[in-house]
Structures are given as C-alpha cells and as structure tokens.
C-alpha cells in the first residue's frame, strides 16, 4: 500500500474495513441455537476464550452437526468485545485481508444462559480436580452480557483412513502396522493418526518501524530478552525469511520433540525418521506458500509509523489501521501436517485489539523502553553473553 493510500480520508474505499466503521450483522434470525442437551467437553483455553468439543449426551445417537467443529466461548473479561461485535469485525475487517482457504471457518451460534451456567460449574470442578491450568483459575465464562459463541473448524489431526499396507520387508515387531481407524471406532483422544497439529503465533514478522536504524534484534526477540527470558525461541524474521536454512532453525521451536501419543508410525519407522519428514514438509510449505509473504505485506501496510509515532501523532485513520496491525501480529497459525505428505494451514484468533484499557499507552511505552534500554541494538549489559542477533 502506498503512502498516499495510508493517508486516505475515512470515507475512501481503502478504509472500508476500518474497525470504527464495522456494521453489525444484518440478520440474526438465522443464527442457530445451541441445544441445551448437547455435551461440551473442555479442550483448551487462552486468556480470553475457552474451546469445547461438542457431542451428543451419553446414550444418545451421535450427532454429525458438529463433526470436525469446536465451540469457542468468551470469558468475563472487562476488556473483551461481545462476540456479536467480534464476529462483525471478523467478517468486515479481518476476513477480507486473507484468502478463505487460509482462514479457520467461523460461524455464529446462540448459546443459552443455562449452558453457560452449567459450564462455569464444570470449570470449578476441573479446578478442584487439578485439570484446569492454575493460571486460568478464577476467571469464568461471561454469564450476564454474552448470548453468542463461535463454531470453528477443528484442526485436530484426522483419524487414519484407508492407507497403503505396511511394507512386509521388515522384521520389526515393536511398532504395530498401520490399521484403518475411524472417529466412530475410538474416542477422539484415542484416534490413531498420521498427522500432527502445531500452532504458534508468528508475531512481528517485519521489524517495528519504531526500531532504530542500527537495530540488531527484531521486536519479538528484543522484548523476550527484556522480559529476562533466557529460553530460546523462534525469530519471526527467520520464520518469514523464505530462506530454507533460517526457516528450519525456527522449526525446532515449533515442531514437537517427542512423538504425539496418537501418532501411528509404520512398522520399522522411527520417530526420528518421522520427525525429519514432518520437518521437510513444514519447511517446504513455509518457504514456498503465500502465507508468510502475505503476513509481511499486511504488517508493513497496516503500520507504517510504529507504536511510538502513531500514539503521539497518528491520525484516526492510522490508529484504526494500527489496531488491525496489532491483531494480525497476534493471530495464531494452525498447521495440520500429514506425515504422508501435505500441510494444511489456517489462521485463527483474529480478535480485534481495541487499544482500550490502557493499551495505547502500554504499546508506546514498550517500544520506548526497548529503544532507551538498547534491546533493539543489542548493546545492553550482558548482550554478548545472550548472543541473540537477528537478520533482516
């Protein structure tokens, strides 16, 4: 996007998806209602949402309505957007930025209050049983002001279907041969698969415009070091470089180091062999696909000024584009990698960063601190011992 386009007035075509101008869904009469009888199984949660698997109640025939789908419900966070507004932003602001095949399909559903109350009771039981992460204790689903949830694609590894027979020329009997398996024959957590799912946040795949010209660290790596985390992590600039050696370096922080419990290896196939194949498939995808170039282009176009300048002197137009950029920087990439070939990529967690609750001040101060304390230039005390340097 050119500088002229970024300076466009609010009513220009380029601003059609700005967060402030997002309309509500036109017709809510067709939004389905989640049945109170369905069973929700706690699957995972983040800071603002909880993910559930949906199934028929015990003893009832299985339902196909939610096959390969999950339910996302919102927690009672003061800064969180109601799901109806979040869905409008999703449709009008974020989905137009990406091709549909790269998005996690998402639909709106009405959720009865009785379901929310029931699941909050179940969260308390999970806490008592030690089955909910301790850092998530004390925060529950929104009961008063939320009537909707999201139905999203389940990116979990798929069950093994009909696969070629195991090659007979092996005497290895320690690893069972591949056998056909379907979701109907196993509980979901016991399904045998030849796929793995990895998910990660690519973060700032281009350098922050607020960084000094002599920077030696990207924004993500600089902030990680400032937070006193000595734990190695991926560099977003390597991830998005489309240089195979640099991309492969990031995969050690993305791919599992031990085999997932449901991964079915062929007879005579070691985990080391399988992981090498998975790494090859993933590296090939990240180097050659449209995904990383698209994220780089969006981050460059949506935030040409950087957090410090946009907070100080950015127009309303630039501020609206900036919060969209911050949302893109915090999205999640889901990769479903097939050991026998192919990678399916989807983008999720496109929840608008509004800049409210002190976020504007926080974003600006983080950048100012990274600059003032020399974390961008790598000249802070102890920098040489850390040895973390990023390449453009």
CB 264 within 8 A of CB 192: yes
- Listed residue (40, 70, 35) closest to 150, CA to CA: 70
Q: Distance from first CA to last CA of the chain, Å, rounded?
A: 21
Using 50 as the pLDDT threshold, list the residues of the chain that sit under it.
1-20, 162-187
Per-residue buried b or exposed e for 242-263, using 16+ beta carbons within 10 Å of the residue's own CB: eeeebbbbbbeebbeeeeeebb
Predicted pLDDT of residue 15? 39
Predicted pLDDT of residue 164? 42
Cα gap 26→371, rounded to integer Å: 46
| Residue 300: φ, ψ to 5° | -65, -45
Predicted pLDDT of residue 49? 95
DSSP 194: S
Class of domain 27-154 as given by CATH:
alpha beta
Where along the chain do its domains lie? 27-154, 191-391
Cα gap 281→266, rounded to integer Å: 18
Predicted pLDDT of residue 161? 67
Predicted pLDDT of residue 94? 95
For residue 310, give every residue at least 6 positions away whose Cβ sits within 8 Å of its Cβ, in sequence order, or none: 303, 318, 319, 322
Q: What does each C-alpha distance from 159 to 43, 105, 112, 188 come to in angstroms?
A: 18, 20, 32, 9
Predicted pLDDT of residue 25? 62
């Amino acid at each position: 996007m050119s500088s002229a386009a970024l300076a466009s007035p609010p009513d220009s075509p380029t601003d059609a998806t700005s967060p402030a101008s997002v309309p509500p869904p036109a017709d809510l009469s067709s939004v389905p209602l989640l049945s109170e009888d369905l069973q929700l199984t706690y699957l995972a949660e983040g800071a603002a949402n909880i993910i559930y698997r949906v199934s028929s109640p015990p003893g009832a025939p299985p339902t196909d309505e939610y096959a390969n789908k999950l339910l996302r419900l919102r927690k009672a966070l003061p800064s969180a957007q109601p799901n109806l507004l979040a869905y409008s932003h999703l449709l009008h602001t974020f989905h137009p930025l990406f091709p549909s095949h790269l998005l996690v399909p998402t639909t709106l559903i009405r959720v009865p209050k009785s379901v929310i109350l029931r699941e909050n009771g179940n969260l308390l039981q999970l806490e008592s049983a030690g089955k909910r992460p301790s850092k998530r204790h004390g925060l529950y689903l929104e009961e008063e002001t939320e009537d909707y949830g999201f139905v999203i694609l389940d990116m979990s590894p798929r069950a093994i279907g009909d696969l070629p027979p195991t090659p007979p020329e092996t005497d290895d009997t320690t690893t069972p041969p591949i056998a056909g398996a379907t979701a109907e024959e196993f509980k979901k957590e016991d399904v045998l698969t030849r796929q793995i799912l990895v998910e990660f946040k690519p973060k700032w795949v281009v350098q922050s415009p607020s960084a000094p010209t002599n920077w030696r660290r990207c924004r993500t790596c600089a902030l990680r070091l400032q937070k006193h985390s000595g734990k190695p992590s991926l560099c977003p600039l390597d991830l998005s470089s489309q240089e195979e050696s640099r991309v492969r370096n990031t995969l050690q922080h993305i791919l599992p180091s031990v085999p997932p419990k449901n991964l079915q290896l062929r007879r005579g196939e070691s985990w080391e062999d399988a992981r090498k194949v998975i790494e090859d498939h993933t590296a090939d995808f990240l180097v050659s696909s449209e995904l990383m170039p698209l994220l780089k282009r969006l981050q460059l176009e949506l935030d040409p000024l950087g957090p410090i300048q946009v907070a100080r002197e950015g127009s309303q137009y630039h501020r609206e584009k900036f919060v969209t950029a911050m949302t893109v920087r915090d999205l999640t990439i889901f990769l479903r990698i097939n050991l026998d070939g192919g990678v399916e990529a989807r983008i999720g967690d496109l929840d608008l960063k509004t800049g409210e609750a002190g976020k504007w001040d926080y974003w600006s101060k983080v950048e100012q601190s990274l600059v003032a304390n020399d974390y961008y230039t790598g000249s802070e005390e102890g920098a040489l011992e850390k040895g973390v340097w990023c390449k453009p």
